[in-house]
Amino acid sequence: MAQLIGGVATSHIPAIGGAIHKGLQQEAYWKPFFDGFPPIREWLGRAKPDVVVVFYNDHGLNFFLDKMPTFAVGAAAQYENADEGWGIPTLAPYRGDLDLSWHIINSVTAKDFDLVTCQEMQIDHACTLPLKLLWPESVCPVSIVPVCINTVQFPLPSAKRVYALGKAVGEAVKSWNSDKRVAVLGTGGLSHQLDGERAGFINKEFDLQFLDSMVTNPEWATQFSILELVEKTGTQGVELLMWLAMRAALTTSHSAVRLVHSNYHIPISNTATGVLALETLPAPAAAAAALSSAA
């Protein structure tokens, strides 16, 4: 069976694309953000995933309001990036993994999730930039399965529902008859708000609690309704749903996780940025970790 090696979550601001393009990673403004990534890249270099399932939210590249799916799963051999209208450079296409796409679609639908499936799907900065941050090389070594979750038009799926979806995706990965190594990636957040008189809203206290919950209490944020999350994290802070899906995928089979690295920095653009990587522990280590935490 396939191995679920762990997961990463990160912010996905468009301006990151411009900074990468211009090579500004070590400039004073950008350094505290980009410096969160080398320890995670080192871990990924050792863990060597072949495929990454990416939970992200489209910002009006592939989906418009004419057809707005709650959950959409890509099933394409290749995913192209394109002009999003705000002047960031377009990145090269990413390879898909059709076998895992269809395995996820079949297993998750069997668990009563109603998905939209996409044999053609453009991926925006929310999918491409995190991949570029994790694999800066010109040819990305991993293939992907994009899972798009609606955060554009309310009603959004509840945090509880997104968590359940993430868990179902994790179970699908673990039941995939393949020798491939799989990672999950969630992109978005943390607290920020672009629109309205409350633009510029950031909530450091909530973000830090949320980051901590990713390690110690993964379901913590599912207690909040979507509007409570908007109130606490901003209209776009609600993108933390993607982190929840990623984290939930790692809870399958009661596997324990180890924090590889995390970083939090305010602000990049209007956003409180976060990145976090978790490694799943093999069964014996997971049992030992459970024993020692019980003792």
Chain residues binding another protein by CB under 8 A are 15, 59-61, 64-66, 82-87, 152-156, 193-200, 202, 204, 225-227, 230-231, 235-236, 265-267, 269-270, 272
Q: Which is nearer to another protein, 153 or 175 (CB)?
A: 153
- For residues 92 and 130, give the distance between their C-alpha atoms in angstroms, rounded to a whole number: 14
Tell me how far, at minimum, the Cβ of 262 lies from another protein, in Å: 16
Angle at CA of residue 15, ends 26 and 198, nearest 5°: 120
Q: Which is nearer to another protein, 53 or 202 (CB)?
A: 202
Residues with catalytic roles: 125, 192
Tell me how far, at minimum, the Cβ of 13 lies from another protein, in Å: 8
Tell me how far, at minimum, the Cβ of 36 lies from another protein, in Å: 15
Q: Are 78 and 96 in contact (CB under 8 A)?
A: yes
Q: Which is nearer to another protein, 70 or 143 (CB)?
A: 70
Tell me how far, at minimum, the Cβ of 191 lies from another protein, in Å: 8
Q: Which is nearer to another protein, 107 or 193 (CB)?
A: 193
DSSP 226-281: HHHHHHHH-TTGGGGHHHHHHHHHTTGGG--EEEEEEEEEEEETTEEEEEEEEEEP
Mapped onto helix, strand or coil, the DSSP state of residue 200 is coil
Structure letter (DSSP) for residue 15: H
Structure letter (DSSP) for residue 92: P
